[in-house]
């Protein structure tokens, strides 16, 4: 499942060709993805301009001139392809939605597993939509600090890993970057979430370290995604998918372990993550 850095990278790629551009033609090659497409989906988009293309958690949010908002989610395997050629390319397998933009770009949504989603919502009702109503704090904003994290963690008996991965608390931070942030902060994924806050909800040092680690991990992933010469993603992970390999923290002689938490793999160092 793509996490915040991957979705933000997609947004940044789409923004120059979609924001300020008009949908000249929309082709829906099937009536559904994970769920059914909105009624008259193509017709309702045609002629509308993308006023702003933003991101909320793992969702792409396109505000339209019609007063509606197009919500898009990549699901497990979804991706967008941008074709700047004036000549249409032949459709590939699993090309489900095609946007012909007035910018000259053809934007194609490809999704082999069809876990992606596209939905049209009245912009005025967006904050009350079931998706946004349940989304937590945005971790890359200036408002997200140790005090916010501590208030969220106060009295939570779940593990730190489960706490960080809960989209209702922190939006966009998933399995991979939760493991990475915990290693940067030197905190065990098994540790109870409430231990990073005092009883009154004030941040302990662990909360301060963890906020710095979260922002560092996500910012690093974004910068890396923008490098055209970047190697495959796993090559720079400190713990994720590195079971049995030595810990990369200077001076630590630990070996990375993998455990299952809430049905997902967690990678950590049992020596330096306490």
Please check whether residue 165 lies inside any domain of the structure.
yes
Phi, psi values for residue 22, rounded to 5° = -105, 145
Phi, psi values for residue 184, rounded to 5° = -55, -40
13 lies in the same domain as 118? yes
Please check whether residue 140 lies inside any domain of the structure.
no
151 lies in the same domain as 120? no
Q: What is the pLDDT of residue 219?
A: 96
| DSSP code per residue over 118-140 | EEEEEGGGGGGSHHHHT--B-TT
Of 111, 133, 155, which marks where a domain is finished?
133
Active site residue 119: no
167 lies in the same domain as 231? yes
80 beta partners: 109
Phi, psi values for residue 240, rounded to 5° = -60, 130
Of 112, 133, 154, which marks where a domain is finished?
133
99 vs 81: CA distance, rounded Å: 10
Q: Which of 11, 55, 58, 242 is catalytic?
A: 58
Q: Which residue has the tokens 């662990």?
A: 206
120 lies in the same domain as 212? no
3-state secondary structure of 60: strand
Radius of gyration of the chain (CA): 20
Q: DSSP character for 141?
A: S
How many structural domains does the chain have? 2
Please check whether residue 273 lies inside any domain of the structure.
no
Q: What is the pLDDT of residue 230?
A: 55
Provide the token pair at 7.
């979705």
Decide: residue 51, CB within 10 A, 0-12 exposed, 13-18 middle, 19+ buried: middle
Please check whether residue 70 lies inside any domain of the structure.
yes
- For residues 82 and 17, the answer to whether their CB atoms sit within 8 Å is yes
33 lies in the same domain as 151? no
Please check whether residue 274 lies inside any domain of the structure.
no
169 vs 163: CA distance, rounded Å: 7
42 lies in the same domain as 159? no
Active site residue 58: yes
CATH of the domain at 23: 3.20.190.10
Q: What is the pLDDT of residue 2?
A: 87
Please check whether residue 141 lies inside any domain of the structure.
no
Tell me the residue length of the chain. Answer: 274
Q: Which of 12, 34, 151, 264 is catalytic?
A: 264
Q: What is the pLDDT of residue 234?
A: 45
CATH of the domain at 211: 1.10.8.50
Please check whether residue 242 lies inside any domain of the structure.
yes
Task: Please list the pLDDT of the chain residue by residue as tens digits (274 residues).
Answer: 789 999 999 999 999 999 999 999 999 999 999 999 999 999 999 999 999 999 999 999 999 999 999 999 999 999 999 999 766 678 899 999 999 999 999 999 999 999 999 999 999 999 999 989 999 999 999 999 999 999 999 999 999 999 999 999 999 999 999 999 999 999 999 999 999 999 999 999 999 999 999 999 999 999 988 775 655 444 589 999 999 999 999 999 999 999 999 899 999 999 999 9
Q: Which of 3, 6, 8, 180 is catalytic?
A: 3
Please check whether residue 247 lies inside any domain of the structure.
yes
pTM here is: 0.91
125 lies in the same domain as 164? no
249 lies in the same domain as 193? yes
Active site residue 133: no
What is the extent of the structural domain holding 206?
A: 146-268
14 lies in the same domain as 113? yes
- For residues 175 and 158, the answer to whether their CB atoms sit within 8 Å is no
153 lies in the same domain as 119? no
Q: Residues with Cβ < 8 Å from 263, sequence gap 6 or more?
A: none
129 lies in the same domain as 152? no
Q: What is the pLDDT of residue 88?
A: 61
Q: Which residue has the tokens 């789409």?
A: 14
Of 133, 167, 182, which marks where a domain is finished?
133
Phi, psi values for residue 210, rounded to 5° = -70, -40
Q: Which residue has the tokens 């989906």?
A: 41
Q: Which residue has the tokens 């967690």?
A: 266
């Amino acid at each position: 499942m793509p996490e915040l850095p991957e979705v933000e990278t997609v947004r940044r790629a789409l923004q120059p060709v979609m924001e300020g551009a008009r949908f000249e033609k929309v082709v829906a090659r099937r009536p559904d993805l994970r769920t059914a497409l909105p009624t008259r989906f193509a017709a309702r988009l045609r002629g509308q301009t993308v006023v702003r293309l933003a991101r909320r958690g793992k969702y792409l949010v396109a505000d339209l001139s019609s007063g509606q908002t197009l919500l898009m989610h990549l699901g497990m395997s979804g991706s967008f392809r941008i074709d700047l050629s004036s000549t249409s390319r032949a459709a590939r397998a699993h090309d489900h939605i095609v946007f012909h933009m007035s910018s000259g770009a053809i934007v194609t949504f490809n999704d082999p597993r069809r876990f992606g989603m596209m939905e049209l919502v009245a912009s005025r009702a967006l904050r009350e939509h079931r998706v946004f109503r349940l989304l937590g704090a945005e971790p890359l904003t200036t408002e997200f600090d140790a005090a916010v994290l501590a208030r969220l963690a106060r009295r939570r008996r779940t593990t730190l890993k489960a706490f960080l991965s809960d989209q209702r608390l922190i939006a966009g931070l998933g399995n991979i970057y939760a493991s990475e942030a915990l290693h940067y902060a030197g905190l065990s994924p098994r540790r109870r979430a409430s231990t990073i806050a005092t009883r009154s909800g004030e941040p302990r040092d662990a909360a301060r370290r963890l906020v710095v680690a979260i922002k560092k991990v996500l910012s690093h992933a974004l910068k890396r995604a923008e490098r055209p010469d970047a190697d495959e993603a796993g090559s720079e992970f400190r713990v994720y998918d590195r079971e049995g390999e030595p810990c990369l923290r200077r001076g630590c002689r630990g070996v990375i372990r993998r455990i299952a938490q809430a049905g997902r793999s967690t990678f950590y160092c049992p020596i330096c993550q306490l």
